[in-house]
Amino acid sequence: MNLTSQVLHLARRSVIRTIRQPANWITPLVFPLALMAVNSGGLDAATSLPGFPTDSFIAFFLAFPFIQGSLFATVNAGVDLARDIQTGFLNRLALTPMQSAALLVGHLGGVIVMGVVQAAWYLSVGLLIGVRIEAGPLGMLVIFVLAVFIVLAFGSFGALAALRTGSTEAVHSLFPVFFVFLFISSMNLPRNLIETEWFQVAASLNPVSYLIEAIRSLVIVGWDEQALVLGFSISIGLAIVGLTLSSLSLRTRMART
């Protein structure tokens, strides 16, 4: 059986597992939008700040659910992988002719499917509540592609944590760390309007800011080449680093000869 088939079978299992754990898909679909509704209600006045790039805070904030949803999917996927290690299911897979790469890619394949579903959901809700995507239909497609890279990047770090520790608790503990990155970013305000200096510096150093800004640019600006190059470069770069480290950890974890 070739690598592609192995990946597809393992990705299918990952998707089935997600579907059969409602908390794993309801939370990422509902919670980020709920937070968006709350924040948009409370921070709507920010649109009157001089230099604020749009008069719709919801449109400005729509990028947030994509990132937060990716975090949920990442942690859930990491937990699933850690559970496979804890229960010995990884050993069962290791006893088959499965290639090691198939395990990682198949697992992340399930995360990507979840990422696509989430992206479609966030985008649909955004359109339903009147957000206009300035980059048009092609821009929406680009949002999907970017969402896939982001979820792949985060997912690879979730897998890394699972493979390094083999502990569901350790993977769970990653979530607050990821959350800190999310909140110390330009999610609530454009970086140039953040007045607290340390926060502005931190947001500028935080790669999550550029992921948010890339999606946001397609929603509220149209085609912002710089934002997109940064967003894609960072997400792809993170994915490469995460996948490389995960592959090395998998080699150690699955020490079959």
Partner 1 sequence: MERAIEVRGLVREFKGGIHAVAGIDLDVAPGEIYGFLGPNGAGKSTTVHMLTTLLPPTAGSARVGGHDIVQEGPAVRRVIGAALQEAALDPLLTGREHLKLQLALHGIPRTERDARTDELLERVGLRLAADRKIGGYSGGMKRRLDLALALAHRPRILFLDEPTTGLDPQSRSALWDEVVRLKRDEGVTVFLTTQYLEEADVLADRVGIIDHGRIVAEGTPTALKAEIGRPTVEAVPTEGTEPAQVEEIFGRFGELQPSTAGVAVRLDGKGGLADVVRALDSAQVSVEALHLHAPTLDDVFLAKTGRSLEGSEEPSEPDAE
Binding of residue 20 to partner 1 (CB under 8 A): yes
The 3-state DSSP class for residue 111 equals helix
Minimum distance from residue 29 beta carbon to partner 1 (Å) = 19
Closest separation between CB of residue 170 and partner 1, Å?
A: 18
| Closest to 188 measured CA to CA, from 78, 38, 22 | 38
For residue 16, state whether it binds partner 1 (rule: CB under 8 A).
Answer: yes
Q: Which of 23, 45, 50, 95 binds partner 1 (CB under 8 A)?
A: 95
Residue 221 and residue 198 in contact, taking contact as beta carbons nearer than 8 Å: no
**What is the rounded distance in angstroms from the CA atom of residue 98 to the CA atom of residue 116?**
26
Residue 26 lies near partner 1 (rule: CB under 8 A) = no
Site residues for partner 1, 47-86, by CB under 8 A, read 84
Cα 227 from Cα 214, distance rounded (Å) = 5
Q: How far apart are CA 62 and CA 170, in angstroms?
A: 30
Out of 4, 96, 173, 192, which residue is the one contacting partner 1 (CB under 8 A)? 96
Q: 203-208 long-range CB contacts below 8 Å, 24 or more apart?
A: 206/181, 207/181, 207/234, 207/238, 208/67, 208/181, 208/182
Segment (H or E) for 227 = helix 225-253
CA distance 42 to 99: 50
Asked if 175 and 78 touch (Cβ cutoff 8 Å), the reply is: no
Least CB distance from residue 211 to partner 1, whole Å? 31
Nearest distance from C-beta of residue 72 to partner 1, angstroms:
18
Q: Does 128 bind partner 1 (CB under 8 A)?
A: no
Nearest to partner 1 of 87, 192 (CB atom): 87
Among 34, 42, 55, 91, binds partner 1 (CB under 8 A): 91
Closest CB to partner 1 among 80 and 224? 80
Binding residue (CB under 8 A) for partner 1 from 48, 196, 252, 257: 257
User: Which range touches partner 1 (CB under 8 A), out of 52-60, 94-102, 125-133, 199-207?
Assistant: 94-102
Binding footprint of partner 1 on the chain (CB under 8 A) = 1, 5-6, 9, 13, 16-17, 20-21, 84, 87-98, 255-257
